[in-house]
Each structure stands twice: as structure tokens, then as C-alpha cells.
Structure 1
Amino acid sequence: MSTAVHTAPEGGLSSGYGENPAAAGSERLLSVDRVSLEYRTRERIVRATHHVSFDVYRADRFVLLGPSGCGKSTLLKAIAGFVEPVSGTIRLGDEPVRGPGADRVVVFQEFDQLPPWKTVVENVAFPLRVARKLSRAQAKDRALHYLEKVGLAAFADAHPHTLSGGMKQRVAIARALAMQPRILLMDEPFAALDALTRRKMQEELLQLWDEARFTVLFVTHSIEEALIVGNRILLLSPHPGRVRAELNSHQYSQESLGSADFQQSVARIHRLLFETGTGNQEQAREQVQA
């Protein structure tokens, strides 16, 4: 399967997986091949994505970026196994995705994804006991280890209602990482946070990735966040979501904010996302795949 690639824009961004030195030689972990997704409203059936293709490699920080309504969250849910494609295939390693599994864990945008009657450590440990079948002591030890990683070991015995929104998201991330999934799925996890907390959470996620080199598929509609968090970015068109471009962004970090090159890349991505001429893009995509 060949991933659709837009012509590389000028400047700091590059197109295509092969030009990413951080990912070169990595194992392909996830394959999404010409996937179309639909959902039903009261009036009609709506196509969310159309023939979307891409690959995610081990230790990638792969970002799905697009405007609201382009189907990026629906696509993430399909990878998680919650939504079945109407056409195309999704494979994790050599196996097709046929439903949810402990090898894919989702961190959602909502803060209230933690059972309020359980303490922080119990929230992290419970899925380990159910899905990984660890003993109570083993699950608690692993939960405390990942709470330490996200800086919340001191709050292990607290209940969720006593935590801020950012702290709740840290617990959700610790819970997900403790499961040691093959791929971590994050659906706009920082979108509801204030700007300062969002930046801090981006920094902490990158620090965690630098330590553990886990594979993450991250959904956002923020161009700046995509450039900072991702090493590869898939741009999806406005509804229905189609591949506009696949770009490498491993050269950017939070230190890049405000630089002329970073701002130019933001502007170029905006143009790629919202430019017209879908028919011409379809023709170019077919030429690349051929």
C-alpha cells in the first residue's frame, strides 16, 4: 500500500515518510488503506472520510490534522475498533482490526473519563487487572510507576473531583501508558485546557515519548499543536475527509514557536488544508500511488 503524498511545500516542511531520519528503518505498525467511514443522522447517512490511506511506524508521533467535521476523530475511533469502515482496511501489524482491544488505548478530550468513586491509583490500576490480568499488587506497582512518570505520585490516593483538568488528563495518560498498548490513540486530549496548561501538557507528552518511545496517533485541529507534537502529519480536507498531504515535522519543537520558519509552515499548512481543486488533488494522488 502506497500512502498518498502531496507535492512538498517550500521551506521547512518535507513530504513523504522516507525523508524522516527519525523514522527511517522503523517497523510499520499500523496500515490504513483507502478507508471510507460513514455515520447515520436522523435525516441521512453522512460520509465522514473518503479513501483515506496512511501508515504509522513504530515510535511515530503521527498526527491527524484537519478542520472540524473532516472525520479525523471518527477515523481514530475506527482504528480503536469502535467504528467499522464501509470500505477499505485497517491493519495493526499483520492482523485486521475487528474490534476494540488492549493493544489500542484511547485518551479522550473529556476530563470526566475517570470513575469518580475510585482513587487516582485505582483508576490507573483497574484496567490492568481486567485486561492484563495482573494481581492487585502488580497492578498497583505499575500504576504507581506511571503516576510517577506524569508527576502525580503524590496524588495517588486522591479522588478525581479534587484534581484540575490538566491533572485528570495526566491520570488518563498514565492509565493508557500503563496498559503498554502497541499504539496510543489521543483524540484532541488537550483541546479543552487553557493555553498555558495545554502547552505544559504538550511538553510533558514529548518528555514521556522521549523516555519510552511509544507509538502515538494524535488528533488535533490546531496546526501549531500538530507541528509541535508530531513528527509526521496527515492533512485531511474539509468534510468529507480526504488526504490532502502527508508531511514530516520532526524538526519542530516548542522552542520553534514564534520563529519565522515555524510561522511560514503554519501558513503553508493552512493553505494546503483549505485550498480548492479536489479533482486535481485526486489525480495527483493517483499518480503518486501508481
Structure 2
Amino acid sequence: MNAVAQSHTASTSAQPQEALLQVRGVSLEYRTPERVVRATHQVSFEVDPSDRFVLLGPSGCGKSTLLKAVAGFIQPSEGEIRLAGNQITEPGPDRIVVFQEFDQLPPWKTVIENVMFPLLASRTLKRPEALERARYYLEKVGLSAFADAYPHTLSGGMKARVAIARALAMQPKILLMDEPFAALDALTRRKMQEELLELWDEVRFTLLFVTHSIEEALVVGNRILLLSPHPGRVRAEINSHQYDLKSLGGVGFQQTAQRIHRLLFDEGETGTVEQELNFQDIRIAY
């Protein structure tokens, strides 16, 4: 096994019998000029090592705010968040965020310099080791031939792949992705979902992924937390590993997506939704 791959496996496989991320009774608030707004109310969930855990819900359910709290940018007004047993109180290199705005890549740096930059800035590695690791992850995302290119020459999908390579090069305990493909066209978005799953299959990183797309949640996640809005509360938690990109367009897939929609918006199906969803495991919160 490649030394870089061995290092990543070691950094993401500790104590697989215990949850890696624990979110316990977390309420989050933010202030507007008029008032204090509660974004989430007593949200709890756990993410195991190598999970692809999706936060799914409509606008106003606090899913992106939750991601920022896991990243350490926001402190809960109630509850706590722990990563590998340690309470999160500030940002750290063990949690790397990929946003949907890929213009965050410094335009004066080449692709490989962009991937190396956080490794060098954080003094995680010296330059020779950072270069080796950057090359490894650029190869994983299929951009080795573009190592010396500048961001303005890349398509949106290619910028997304650079951002993912840069994040994984830091070998975080958990990768946080906030609607990373929302700004891409439909065909590129589907391609990026496919590549993300292929990359996960090789590297087996732990992923916390935010989306408002039911279809994307079913494809990307092996577990999904459904959040209802205003403020965000846990509606249900679902094991969804039976679906993949090949399921898209299938009758069963579309029926499941429609039923999740009804569950999210509480359209009178709470009593029968567990049977109708036909998941191997579903926990209804209320």
C-alpha cells in the first residue's frame, strides 16, 4: 500500500466500534438586526468512521449551520459536539470543509500549489512530503495532467475535484461538504457524485455531507438525517445504503424520494411512512 494511503487509513480507522462524531442535543442560534434566531433545536446524531452521513432538509432547517458548528466556526447555545471523544470548541485541521464556491482556490497558484498550500501553511508537512501527498490525491481525482494549470483554465467540475483533493490531502478525521455540487450543471453534478463515491470506495474517508436534494442524499449517503425547518429538528434517521447512481430513475427510487418528501414536510403520512419507505432501518423522531 502507498505510504500516503497507509497514513490516511491510520488517521481514519481508530476505534471503529465507537462513533467518531457525536452531536448531542445541539441547539444553534444566530443574531439578526431584529432578533436572535434559533437555527436548530436539540439535534442529536452520531457519525461512525467511514460513514457517508447526509444532512438533508429544506431551506431553514439549519443543516449548513450544523456543519459550521461541527467545523468549529459556531458554538452551540445548548448541547455539545465531540470528535474522537474531544469536544469541538474551535476550527481544526481534523475537520476540513468543502463549500460549493470553488473560486476559493487562489488564482495565482497552480493546481498542485493549491493542494499543497494548507499542508505547508499549517506546517503539517515539509515541502517534499507535501508535494508527494498532493500528487497522490491529484491522481485520485484524475487531475495529474493538470497539476501545473491555473484555476481560471479549469471547468467547474475540475475546480470541485481540486477542492476535494486539497481537503483529503490534509487527511482530516472527517470531511465536511456543504452542498459542494449545487453550483454545477446537472450532468457535471452527477459525474461529481459518481467520482466522489469512487474516491470514497478507494480511500474510505468519513464524510458529513449537506444537501437539499433528496435524490443526491439517497445516492451519496449510506445514512441520512432528515431535518424539519424553523428551527431544525431531527425528523428521522434512515439507512439508505441500498441506493446508488444506478438506482436513479427507477420506480422504487422515485417512490422512496416522494415518500421522503412527504415525511420532511409532514404531509399526513407519519403513521405509515415506516412501512412505505421500505428501508432496512428507519428511526422516526416524532
TM-score w.r.t. the length of structure 1 is 0.86
Match of 1:251 among 232, 242, 252: 242
AA at the equivalent of 1:215:
T
Alignment deviations for residues 174-220 of structure 1 (CA, whole Å, 9 cap, x no partner): 00000100000000000010000000000000000001111000000
Give deviations 1:120-160, integer Å, cap 9, x for gaps.
10000011112253111111111011001001111111111
Equivalenced residues, count: 257
Deviates more, 1:129-138 or 1:175-184: 129-138
Instruction: Provide the aligned C-alpha RMSD in A.
Output: 1.6
Aligned residue among 136, 139, 142 for 2:130: 139
Q: Say whether 1:204 aligns with 2:169.
A: no
Residue 172 of structure 1 corresponds to 163
Tell me, which stretches of 5 or more residues in structure 1 are unaligned?
Answer: 1-24, 281-286
Is the contact between residue 132 and residue 179 of structure 1 (CA under 8 Å) also seen in structure 2?
no
Distance in 1 (CA, whole Å) between partners of 2:64 and 2:284 is 26
**Which of 75, 81, 97 in structure 1 is aligned with 2:72?**
81
**Quick check: 1:70 aligned with 2:49?**
no
**Counterpart of 1:272?**
263
- Name whichever of 53-62 and 124-133 sits farther off: 124-133
Q: In the TM superposition, what is the alpha-carbon distance from 1:248 to its structure 2 partner? A: 0.5
Identity level (%) = 75
Equivalent in the alignment of 2:117: 126
Q: Secondary structure at the match of 2:108?
A: coil
> Relative to 1, partners in 2 of residues 1:214 and 1:134: Cα closer, same or farther, differing over 3 Å?
same
Give the letter for the 2:44 counterpart: S
Aligned to 1:221: 212
Question: 1:36 aligned to 2:33?
Answer: no
* Equivalence map 1:80-99=2 (5 Å): 80-99=71-90
Greater relative contact order: 1 or 2 (C-alpha under 8 angstroms, separation 6 or more)?
1
Q: In the alignment, which residue of structure 2 is the partner of 1:11?
A: none
* Whole-angstrom distance in 2 between the partners of 1:242 and 1:276: 16
Secondary structure of the residue aligned to 1:157 is coil
Offset at 1:113? 1.2
Whether the 8 Å contact between 1:105 and 1:181 is mirrored in structure 2 is yes
Which runs of no fewer than 5 residues in structure 2 stay unpaired? Answer: 1-15, 272-282
Partner of 1:153: 144
* Aligned residue number for residue 182 of structure 1: 173
For 1:245 and 1:264, how far apart are their aligned partners in 2?
17
What SS class does the counterpart of residue 37 from structure 2 fall into? strand
8 A Cα contact 2:227 2:233, kept in partner: yes
Q: Provide the C-alpha distance between the structure 1 equivalents of 2:49 and 2:165, rounded to a whole number of angstroms.
A: 20
Secondary structure of 2:253's aligned partner: helix
Report the Cα distance in structure 2 between the residues aligned to 1:123 and 1:139, rounded to whole angstroms: 11
Supply the distance in 2 between the matched residues of 1:248 and 1:208 (Cα, whole angstroms): 21
Secondary structure, in 3 states, of the residue corresponding to 2:209?
Answer: strand
- SS of residue matched to 1:46: strand
* Structure 1 counterpart of 2:155, one-letter code: S
Structure 1: distance between partners of 2:137 and 2:101 = 20
Q: Distance in 2 between matches of 1:276 and 1:243?
A: 16
Query: TM-score, normalization: structure 2?
Result: 0.87
Q: One-letter code of the match for 1:201?
A: M
In the TM superposition, residue 258 of structure 1 has moved relative to its aligned partner by 1.3
1:191 to 182, 188, 200: 182
Aligned residue for 1:180, secondary structure, equals coil
Contact 2:236 2:284 in 1 (8 A): no
C-alpha contact 1:65 1:221 (8 A) present in aligned 2? yes
Deviations 1:197-247 (A, max 9, x none): 000000000000001111000000000000000000000002210000000
Asked if 1:47 corresponds to 2:65, the answer is no
